[in-house]
């Protein structure tokens, strides 16, 4: 029987402010993706970042950037941005 991973998902203040600006029609999908990180912090559509520590998942035109602490079982979301050339700055 597979052990279910349960990670605590923490959304930093900056990411919370960015999430508040997401239009209602996209917010549900973004919320669902964030919630799913608690059971699987590295879903098949996640990509490891090369320029900085962490991962990103794509939800439509939005990118959710986060780090994972496997020892403490925490996923920390630090940015939620619409895809643009300036996303990773």
pLDDT tens figures, 15-24: 999 999 999 9
Q: Would you say residue 3 lies in a domain? A: no
Percent of the chain with pLDDT over 90: 81
Instruction: Return the DSSP state at 70.
Output: T
Distance CA 44, CA 41 (A): 10
Q: Does 32 reside within a domain? A: yes
Q: Is 72 within 8 Å of 53 (Cβ atoms)?
A: no
Q: Residue 88 domain-assigned?
A: no
Residue 31 within any structural domain of the chain: yes
Question: 73 lies in which domain range?
Answer: 8-82
CATH number for the domain harbouring residue 68? 3.30.2310.20
pTM (predicted TM-score):
0.85
**C-beta separation of 64 from 80 below 8 A:** yes
Pairing of strands 74-82, 62-69: antiparallel
The verdict on residue 45 lying in a domain is yes
| pLDDT at site 2 | 47
């Amino acid at each position: 029987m597979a052990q279910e991973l349960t990670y605590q998902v923490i959304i930093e203040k900056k990411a919370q402010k960015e999430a508040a600006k997401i239009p209602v029609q996209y917010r549900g999908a973004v919320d669902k993706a964030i919630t799913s990180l608690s059971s699987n912090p590295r879903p098949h559509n996640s990509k490891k970042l090369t320029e900085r520590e962490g991962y990103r998942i794509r939800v439509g035109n939005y990118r959710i950037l986060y780090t994972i602490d496997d020892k403490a079982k925490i996923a920390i979301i630090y940015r939620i941005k619409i895809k643009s050339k300036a996303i990773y700055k």
